[in-house]
Amino acid sequence: MIRFIYYPLIQAHYLYNEKEVKDEIKNIFYDVFQNINENNFVWDKQQKDYENWDSFTQLNLITLSEAKFNISLTLDESIEIKSANELFECIKVHLI
Amino acid sequence: MNIINNLENNSKEFPNKIAIIFEDQKISYKELYDEVKKKSLKINNFDKEVISLVSENSISFITMYLGIIKSGRTVHIIPPEISETNFNNQIKSAKSQTIICSENVFDKILKFTKNNIPILKISELEKQLESKENNFKENQIAHLIFTSGTTSTPKGAGITHNMLNFTTKNIIDVLGYLISDIDILPLPLYHSFGLGCIYTSLTIGSTIILHKDASNIENLLNSIKKYHATTFSAIPATLIKILKFENFDLTNCFSNIRLIITNSTAIPKTTVQKYKEILKKGNLATYYGLTEASRSTFMIFEKNSSRDESVGKSAPGVSIKIDNEEIWIKGKNVISKYWNNTIADESIKNGWLKTGDVGFLDDENYLFLKGRKDDIINIGGEKVLPIEIEEVVKQIPDVIDAVAFGIKNEIFGQVIKLNIVKSNESNLDKVKILIHCMKNLEKFKIPNKIDFVEEIPKTSYGKVKRFMLK
């Protein structure tokens, strides 16, 4: 079943499905990690298993997510994100 | 030899030669010297050491300035657009005892003035009695300029006649100014760039076509053609605006120009290269200097030069060193101390002035500027100069202007904020900017916050007022 999420950046009252949000998150990872692509992207891969996911990378993931979805994450939320999946869950809360 | 001696000599040698043209007014060397002498005799009647002068560009500004220095007094030069707070801070610090101003700013200055300092219109000086002639010593302070605009705390720099003589000689020698030159001058005279051009022309005996300002580009270009100008002095922002002025055949317009002098606020490499193409028999030149260390380097952009981003080599008799990335200057153009400001004096050690500018010297001692030390953004220990980010962002089509600066952050101490002016009706968004930065910058240099703004606050001189950024 496709779930719809409110997605304010594209246009007001636009309902955006989960797949589209997930695609956008994948794109964020491709832009931030320039060695990640469709072939090696893993939703559950943890921060510690990435070679170059340091505090600056974390900051850039959050910054680009906030810009794409026109949301603002709290400091606690920003710190807790440790995988693509966790980023998706966090963004979802802000879009619903 | 100082400017007054030179002016006197010129007035005897070629009395009828036009010294300055301003709008529909002309003044010859003899008329100019006579007017300066007359004003100085009236000023001599004042028992005051420091006289503040507030005026927009005009012939009266020049005769008043020269009249005051001829009388052995110090001119405290105040920009006409000064704010009330800055005005009162300056008057207090300068210990000014009289304010002379133009007709246009009189009401504003009268409203600003909080004490009983006499305020006089330039035109009212005529009514004053004349006194006996007075002379000045070369080590006396000729003028006092407060370095304001780019920082929140103005510092007074008192410039002696000796310093001005030294700098003027360097300008003439290095840039090869000639008695036959006709200089188009749209720079504010309350700034050392514009004032230096006046010193140069009146010393060598050439002609100045003075403009009120540089806001009307068409007017400037017409002036260059009308007067067959040979030299042109302008800030980089004016030079960039001219390149966008499509109604003019610029190569033809500048065909008689042998020198365009600009100054050290960032001049893009592409602008330098375009002027190299436009100027068929001339050169673009720049200099690096501060009010308190005027014209410390010179750079003439020769056609084959590969250093289009440099501000040149140190001026004759001036030394430059880099200590911990910061530029230090020593020479006869450098002040020995600030005006009644012992805190600011800490930046002068054994004759070396710590400029607060970050830069480097290449293997042939050409100086390159990187930004202001105070502007460095510290992101979790990684230090970033705003210019590195601004240059990358300005590569994006539709970005008209951009400024990067640090904002507080709980985790990193500071993160980078970017304010952007984009072209009208552009669909440029924050995501596109971030992705461009991620492709072209190290990860600690990626902006964390982006705002689209109408304009970036700048001084009339084109420098970003960083203390106003939010």
pLDDT digits (tens, 9 = 90+) for B6-32: 999 999 999 999 999 999 999 999 999
| pLDDT on residue B150 | 44
Q: Which residue of chain B comes nearest to A28, CA vs CA?
A: B435
DSSP A16: E
| pLDDT on residue A6 | 54
Higher-confidence position of B263 and B199: B199
The pLDDT confidence band at residue B464, using thresholds 50, 70 and 90, is confident
CB pair distance less than 8 Å for A60 and B446:
yes
Q: What is the 3-state secondary structure (H, E, C) of chain B?
A: CCHHHHHHHHHHHCCCCEEEEECCEEEEHHHHHHHHHHHHHHHCCCCCCEEEEECCCCHHHHHHHHHHHHCCCEEEEECCCCCHHHHHHHHHHHCCCEEEECHHHHHHHHHHCCCCCCEEEHHHHHHCCCCCCCCCCCCCEEEEEEECCCCCCCEEEEEEHHHHHHHHHHHHHHHCCCCCCEEEECCCCCCHHHHHHHHHHHHHCCEEEECCCCCCHHHHHHHHHHCCCCEEECCHHHHHHHHCCCCCCHHHHCCCCCEEECCCCCCCHHHHHHHHHHCCCCEEEEEEEECCEEEEEEEEECCCCCCCCCCEEECCCEEEEEECCEEEEEECCECCCCCCCHHHHCCEECCEEEEEEEEEECCCCCEEEEEEHHHCEEECCEEECHHHHHHHHCCCCCEEEEEEEEEEECCCEEEEEEEEEECCCCCCCHHHHHHHHHHHCCHHHCCCEEEECCCCCECCCCCECHHHCC
Per the structure block, which two tokens stand in for B334?
């450098």
Region of poorest pLDDT, from A8-17, B172-181, B262-271: A8-17
For B376-468, CATH gives: 3.30.300.30
CB pair distance less than 8 Å for B438 and A31:
yes
pLDDT digits (tens, 9 = 90+) for A37-75: 999 999 999 998 998 898 899 999 999 999 999 999 998
| Residue found under tokens 């010859």 | B28
Residues of A in contact with B411 (CB under 8 A): 55, 59, 75, 79
Residues of B in contact with A32 (CB under 8 A): 438
Q: How far is A61 from chain B (nearest CA, A)?
A: 10
pLDDT of A11 above 60: no
d(CA B147, CA B145): 6
Higher-confidence position of B229 and B388: B229
| pLDDT on residue A18 | 87
Contact B337, B160 (CB under 8 A): no
Residues of B in contact with A57 (CB under 8 A): 443
Q: Which residue of chain A comes nearest to B415, CA vs CA?
A: A59
Higher-confidence position of A1 and B277: B277
| pLDDT on residue B152 | 47
Q: Phi-psi region for residue B416, left (φ > 0), alpha (ψ -120 to 50) or beta?
A: beta
Neighbours of A30 (CB within 10 A): 15
pLDDT digits (tens, 9 = 90+) for B53-71: 999 999 999 999 999 999 9
Q: Domain B3-136, what architecture?
A: 3-Layer(aba) Sandwich (3.40)
pLDDT digits (tens, 9 = 90+) for B67-80: 999 999 999 999 99
Closest CA relative to residue B461, chosen from B25, B250, B150, B145: B150
| pLDDT on residue B458 | 86
pLDDT of A5 above 80: no
The pLDDT confidence band at residue B236, using thresholds 50, 70 and 90, is confident
| pLDDT on residue B382 | 86
Which helix (H) or strand (E) segment is A6 a member of? strand A4-6
Q: What percent of chain B has pLDDT over 70?
A: 97
pLDDT of A12 above 50: no
Q: How far is A68 from chain B (nearest CA, A)?
A: 6
Ordered by start, the domain boundaries in chain B are: 3-136, 162-373, 376-468
For B162-373, CATH gives: 3.40.50.12780
Q: How far is A60 from chain B (nearest CA, A)?
A: 7
d(CA B127, CA B53): 18
Region of poorest pLDDT, from B86-95, B114-123, B430-439, B456-465: B456-465
pLDDT of B206 above 70: yes
pLDDT digits (tens, 9 = 90+) for B411-460: 888 999 999 999 988 999 999 999 999 999 999 999 999 999 999 998 77
Q: Which residue of chain A comes nearest to B435, CA vs CA?
A: A31
Closest CA relative to residue B339, chosen from B84, B144, B68: B144
pLDDT of B243 above 60: yes
Give the nearest partner residue to A63 out of B380, B410, B446, using CB atoms. B446
pLDDT digits (tens, 9 = 90+) for A32-43: 998 899 999 999
Instruction: Give the B window 396-415 contacts with A, CB below 8 Å.
Output: 410-412, 415
Residues of B in contact with A31 (CB under 8 A): 434-435, 438
| pLDDT on residue A36 | 92
Query: What SS3 state is found at A3?
Result: coil
Which amino acid, one-letter code, is at B258?
Answer: R
Residues of B in contact with A64 (CB under 8 A): 431, 434-435, 438
- Per-residue buried b or exposed e for B287-326, using 16+ beta carbons within 10 Å of the residue's own CB: bbbbbbbbbbbbbbbeeeeebbebbbbbbeebebeeeeee
User: Phi/psi of residue B153, each to 5°?
Assistant: -120, 100
Give the nearest partner residue to A32 out of B379, B429, B438, using CB atoms. B438
> What is the pLDDT of chain B when averaged over all its residues?
92
| pLDDT on residue B151 | 46
Per the structure block, which two tokens stand in for B172?
């003439």
| pLDDT on residue B148 | 54
Mean predicted confidence (pLDDT) in B151-175:
90
Q: Is CATH 1.10.1200.10 what the domain over A4-95 is classified as, yes or no?
A: yes
| pLDDT on residue B266 | 66
Is it true that B3-136 and B162-373 share their CATH fold? Answer: yes
Per the structure block, which two tokens stand in for B98?
């009289």
Higher-confidence position of B150 and B397: B397
pLDDT of B249 above 50: yes
Mean predicted confidence (pLDDT) in B392-412:
92
pLDDT of B104 above 50: yes
Q: Which residue of chain B comes nearest to A52, CA vs CA?
A: B443
